[in-house]
Amino acid sequence: MQKTHTHGQWTSRMGFVLAATGSAVGLGNIWKFPYMIGQSGGAAFVLVYLLCIALIGLPILVAEWMIGRRGQKNPISTMGELAKKNGRSGAWALIGFTGVLGAFLILSFYSVIGGWALSYTGDAITGGFTGMDKDAVGNAFTGFLANAGSLLTWHTVFMALTVGVVAMGVAGGLERASKLLMPSLGVLLFILVGYGMTTGGFGQAMAYLFNPDWSKLTGDVVLAALGHAFFTLSLGMGIMMAYGSYLGEDVDLLRTARTVVIMDTVIAIAAGLAIFPIVFANGLDPAAGPGLIFVTLPIAFGNITGGVILGTLFFVLLTFAALTSAISLLEPVVELVEERTPLSRAGATFVAGIATWALGIAALLSFNHWSDVTIIGLNIFDLLDQLTSKFMLPLTGLGAILFAAWCLDRDSVRKELGLGELGFSVWNVVARFVAPVGVLIVFVSNL
């Protein structure tokens, strides 16, 4: 196939897997997933989430890569041109556009939490958690949130790191580093799961995570699970589509998607298993919200041998995972600005960074000065989060799967997926009906 863009291609499947995993594994797994479980009441959410990942997330991941690999451009141009080539309306380009907007909105609050991780790295290094009990840990976090200046500082540092990496074009180096750092993060999480087993809260945590109380399953919980499946796999923003445009023809999409999805899911479940034993052993509130990991894990680091080193490592690795995801969020925004304005790459990165940073300030004020500023009953932070996860991502992802399943030429899709007769029928049923209908049902039932 003729390559029309200037950027190179991933020479190996490994490089691609690292980039895609770098985008997928992040705060969504370790910070967001556990607190959403707690707010949704436990196992019913977890099981619906796993279903959404398998039946909706995985096929949409494949669809985005497939579209990207064919279009060979940024998501907006790719969708527009591919649609025309296949005799459809250029209005499909809109999907690329809402994707970029979603990435911008997400990065604004994602960077705020990345800042929390940075700040806690500092606390861990200086032995700040040593000997702390749950009250001390809780008070420290409440004090941190109340201090807008400090949240702003760390948000600024995190955003500057993200902009720096994108501007200097060293994201590839970071991805190579993740070959070592990602597994280390996994190992640390399992050490924390081990700590959880010693707390006396482990049995209760297992039941909470895997033994469903179906009465907890409301329409809103299902929508939250669906939205989080998109968030955690970086879907519905054109990000995976953009990655697909770098993808060599020889890469097996289904197998690669399975690898990425499994890694993402294992890290998320491990985070849940690390955090909930601490919640129950200390009588903390599972529904504490976005602060959940920051009021639980420091208790572990404050009380195990080697806690200073483990805590430092953990927050460094968490920051790193957040950074690789943040970079993938900033890229599409930068590309759009670069393409539609006379700005250079560096200028576009700077402008996109500043705009995101500014919106992030509104998000961080939700935790203090603007805590009673609400729009449709949500503070700005929650509004940014819910607007993207519950609406924009699923709708954009729905567009991508509909396009891949209904608009692309069947024979070429089949060849691309390398499936036999039976496998392709299964793919067709899932991609044409199960995934889109699933998304639609969740939406309609919530109206």
| Interface contacts to Na ion, rule CB under 5 A | 24, 28-29, 232, 264
Looking at residues 354 to 413 of the shown chain, list those that interact with ligand PHE (rule: CB under 6 A): none
Which residue is closest to Na ion by CB? 232
Q: Please state, as a whole number, how many other Cβ atoms lie within 10 Å of the Cβ of residue 303.
A: 17
Residue 40 interacts with, from ligand PHE, Na ion, none (CB under 5-8 Å by kind): none
How far apart are alpha carbons 294 and 52 in whole angstroms?
27
Residue 325 interacts with, from ligand PHE, Na ion, none (CB under 5-8 Å by kind): ligand PHE
How far apart are alpha carbons 166 and 339 in whole angstroms?
16
Site string for ligand PHE, 95-114 (x = CB under 6 A): -----------x--------
β-sheet bridge partners, residue 374: 379
Residue 388 interacts with, from Na ion, ligand PHE, none (CB under 5-8 Å by kind): none
Question: Which tokens sit at 100?
Answer: 């970029």
β-sheet bridge partners, residue 232: none
Alpha carbon distances (Å) from 88 to 30, 59, 83, 362: 40, 22, 5, 40
| Contact partners, residue 412, CB within 8 Å, separation at least 6 | none
How far apart are alpha carbons 292 and 290 in whole angstroms?
6
Residue 111 interacts with, from Na ion, ligand PHE, none (CB under 5-8 Å by kind): none
How far apart are alpha carbons 290 and 294 in whole angstroms?
9
How far apart are alpha carbons 331 and 107 in whole angstroms?
11
How far apart are alpha carbons 266 and 58 in whole angstroms?
15
Residue 270 interacts with, from ligand PHE, Na ion, none (CB under 5-8 Å by kind): none
Triad 196, 324, 191: Cα angle to 5°: 15
How far apart are alpha carbons 437 and 397 in whole angstroms?
12
What number of chain residues touch ligand PHE (CB under 6 A)? Answer: 15
Residue 239 interacts with, from Na ion, ligand PHE, none (CB under 5-8 Å by kind): ligand PHE
Least distance (Å) from Na ion to the CB of residue 307? Answer: 26
Residue 329 interacts with, from Na ion, ligand PHE, none (CB under 5-8 Å by kind): ligand PHE
Residue 231 interacts with, from Na ion, ligand PHE, none (CB under 5-8 Å by kind): ligand PHE
Which residue in the set 21, 78, 232, 379 belongs to the binding site for ligand PHE (CB under 6 A)?
232
β-sheet bridge partners, residue 375: 378
Helix axes 393-402, 93-125, angle to 10 degrees: 130
How far apart are alpha carbons 316 and 225 in whole angstroms?
28
Residue 143's identity, in one-letter code, is G
Decide whether 234 or 256 has the Cβ nearer to ligand PHE.
234
Which residue in the set 22, 28, 99, 138 belongs to the binding site for ligand PHE (CB under 6 A)?
28
Residue 26's identity, in one-letter code, is G
Which residue in the set 18, 21, 29, 226 belongs to the binding site for ligand PHE (CB under 6 A)?
29
Which residue is closest to ligand PHE by CB? 28
Query: Judged by CB under 6 A, which stretch of 9-17, 129-137, 234-242, 334-342 contacts ligand PHE?
Result: 234-242
Nearest to 437 by CA among 404, 406, 398, 403: 398
Decide whether 212 or 399 has the Cβ nearer to ligand PHE.
399
Decide whether 23 or 78 has the Cβ nearer to ligand PHE.
23
Q: SS3 for 74?
A: coil
Residue 416 interacts with, from Na ion, ligand PHE, none (CB under 5-8 Å by kind): none
Torsion sign, CA atoms 237, 224, 48, 195: positive
Least distance (Å) from ligand PHE to the CB of residue 49? Answer: 12
Which residue in the set 20, 271, 329, 365 belongs to the binding site for ligand PHE (CB under 6 A)?
329
Least distance (Å) from ligand PHE to the CB of residue 148? Answer: 24
Which residue in the set 40, 265, 312, 328 belongs to the binding site for ligand PHE (CB under 6 A)?
328
Residues that bind ligand PHE (CB under 6 A): 23-24, 26-29, 106, 231-232, 234, 237, 239, 325, 328-329
